[in-house]
Amino acid sequence: MSGTATFVLHTHLPYCRLAGRWPHGEEWIHEALLECYLPLIGAFRRLSKTVDGSLGVTINITPILAEQLRDPLVVQHFREYLADRIGRAERDTHRFTTGPRADTARFHLARYTEVQRLFEDDLRGNVLGAFAALEDSGSIEIASCAATHGYLPLLADDDAVRFQIETGVQSHVANFGRPPRSFWLPECAYRPGLERFLEEAGIRAFFVETHLVTGGTARGKALGGMVGPYPPLDSTSRRPAEAGAHRGSTFRPYWVGESRVAAMARNEQTGLQVWSAAHGYPGDEWYREFHKKDSESGLHYWRVTGRETGLGAKAEYEPARASAAAQRQASHFRDLLKRELFLYENGAREHGNLVSSYDTELYGHWWLEGVEWLEAVISLVAKDPDVTLATAEAVVRDDPPNASIDLPEGSWGAGGDHRTWSNDQTAWTWPEIHRRQQRAHALLANETPATRQLARELLLLQSSDWQFLMTTGQAHDYAVERFNSHAARFDAIANAIESGDPGFANELVQLEHLDNPFPDIDPRSFAGRPQGAFAR
């Protein structure tokens, strides 16, 4: 045997419940459900019937996303969105009656109606329950994350870090019925000492970027040029960040410092084969072109055609050709995975574990054929006698680390450091967060409806999504407005608590309706602990 393989899928979207629809807002979730999450559930359910044992998938579903996926309003709005997409596809089947577009219109209609059947008939609208059932059966592992995907190294407050982690773990237990054992650090952002908070929370493994384990300059996702919502990096962003003289391998987990929490790093070659916009699979000529849509229905009828082909020159999409490409490239990936494991085993004289980690939203949304590709890869690897599919938890449990490592600070972002979240465009946000964290120490000692809502607003303010959207420019004004709105809501509640304003009750009810995640949140767990390593 050459080793084990683990697929890690990071599933996250910003908090956008009741925050508008297109182009920014709740439709992010509706799109992801239709194109990514439900198709993946379908694929995993099919694989569970043919693969004996684990699929080797560890899927992180961030707590703030899980809270939204179970929300009745979000579910109802998704039903409306899905019905609209089906209606658009049906009208297109009448508008296009011959030729490639007729075939593609029927293809879109078939996949939309299948998602509707799965969601309504098989799952009864319970997406989280479907993932939990797959974990209960031993097919997958569900990992957790910080509550609202807060950028932990820059919170500068031990209590704030612990509260993000503990609230995330509590939400995970409530939503999936069991405590998590693996943890996705938001933005893969690490700072020495984080492992002790994870260990306190019962976590056994977390995931980091390649350069934090292998040393040298940042690479992989940190270099940019990726498929998905990642714009090209400018010359300043391309300045390398030296990660230190660490010489670990991505083929082994390591205990971090003195803890018994393991770090697992992304394999570079399998990552680039999928993520790279220049060399990865999603750029294949036969795959659906994401950026060109029909002017009437908004559906996609064109293919990539060529990496340098302008939108006006794109050729017609052919679903059968795209499917054949996905199957072909699944076989190529299986061979690449085996080669990577063989080379490690041959050099190190020990079996390795290969971690292939990606954003879940790549599969089906940015790369339409990605779900079919992943299903085919898992099916092929499961049949291969040289590779064993294993979740992150199983790797650390069954083949635990035999060495420790001291990791440097870093993230997956530009340059491998914190600059994507801390720069000229976002520097103003951090004092705003820190000031409210300090204020929270005095206000969250009791559990009342007001303090519970104050804790929610603080967590939502801390989300790393706001700085990311500001930096990348994808939704700068939207992110500023969302950040400021949570700050203003925090301040209004804090002022009412301090003044004892009895007239604030009606406004509090409105805020509880707007921002309702983490129904079991305990604000008292934030305060009362001494500040330490993260205070500056």
What is the model's pLDDT at position 533? 40
Is 413:422 a contact under the CB 8 Å cutoff?
no
pLDDT digits (tens, 9 = 90+) for 297-352: 999 999 999 988 999 999 999 999 999 999 999 999 999 999 999 999 988 888 99
The pLDDT assigned to 528 comes to 55
Answer with the residue of higher pLDDT: 239 or 201. Answer: 201
- Residue 535: band (very low, low, confident or very high) from pLDDT cuts 50, 70, 90: very low
Average pLDDT over residues 464-473: 92
Q: Are 376 and 369 in contact (CB under 8 A)?
A: no
Yes or no: say if 471 and 158 are a contact pair by the CB < 8 Å rule.
no
Round the average pLDDT of the chain to a whole number and report it: 92
Query: What percent of the chain is helix, strand and coil (3-state, nearest 5)?
Result: 50, 10, 35
Tens of pLDDT, residues 75-121: 999 999 999 999 999 999 999 999 999 999 999 999 999 999 999 99
Question: Which whole number is the average pLDDT over 414-422?
Answer: 90
71 contact partners, CB below 8 Å, separation of at least 6 = 17, 516
DSSP 208-221: E-HHHHH-SB--GG
Residue 392: how many CB atoms within 10 A of its CB?
A: 30
Q: In the structure encoding, which two tokens stand for residue 132, read together?
A: 């939990």
Res 531: pLDDT: 43
Confidence tier at 36 by pLDDT (50, 70, 90): very high
Please check the confidence at residue 8 and state whether its pLDDT lies above 70: yes
pLDDT for position 229:
61
Predicted confidence at residue 2, as pLDDT, reads 80
With a cut of 60, say whether residue 293 has pLDDT above it.
yes
Question: Which is the CATH superfamily of the domain at 3-276+349-416?
Answer: Glycoside hydrolase 38, N terminal domain (3.20.110.10)
Lowest-pLDDT range of 26-40, 155-169, 244-258: 244-258
Positions marked catalytic = 187, 359
Q: Could you tell me the CA-to-CA distances from 109 to 44, 103, 116, 257, 497 in Å, in that order?
A: 22, 10, 11, 53, 53
**Rg for the chain, CA atoms, rounded:** 23
Per-residue model confidence (pLDDT) at position 231: 56
**pLDDT digit string, tens, across residues 501-512:** 888 999 999 999
**Is the pLDDT at 126 greater than 70, yes or no?**
yes
Q: Kindly report the length of the chain.
A: 536
The model's pLDDT over 348-406, given as tens digits with 9 standing for 90+, comes to 888 999 999 999 999 999 999 999 999 999 999 999 999 999 999 999 999 999 999 99
Q: What is the pTM of this model?
A: 0.94
User: pLDDT category, 474, cuts 50, 70, 90?
Assistant: confident
Q: Please tell me the predicted confidence (pLDDT) of residue 208.
A: 95
Considering only residues 224 and 48, tell me which one the structure prediction assigns the higher pLDDT. Answer: 48
For the domain covering 429-525, report its CATH number: 1.20.1430.10
Amino acid identity, position 200: E
Q: Which of 80-112 are b and which e, b meaning 16 or more Cβ less than 10 Å from the residue's Cβ?
A: ebbeebbebbbebbeebeeebbebbbebbbebb
Alpha-carbon dihedral angle through residues 527, 529, 531, 533, given to the nearest 10 degrees? -120
What percent of the chain has pLDDT above 90? 83
Looking at residue 279, its pLDDT comes to 79
The residue among 79, 135, 147, 162 whose CA lies nearest residue 528 is 162
Q: Where are the domains of the chain?
A: 3-276+349-416, 429-525
Helix (H) or strand (E) run with residue 352 in it: strand 352-359
More confident residue, 272 or 142: 142
Asked if 3-276+349-416 and 429-525 have one fold, the answer is no
Which residue is listed with tokens 């997409």?
85
Quick one: which of 169, 193, 191, 190 has its CA closest to 181? Answer: 169
pLDDT over 60 (residue 436): yes
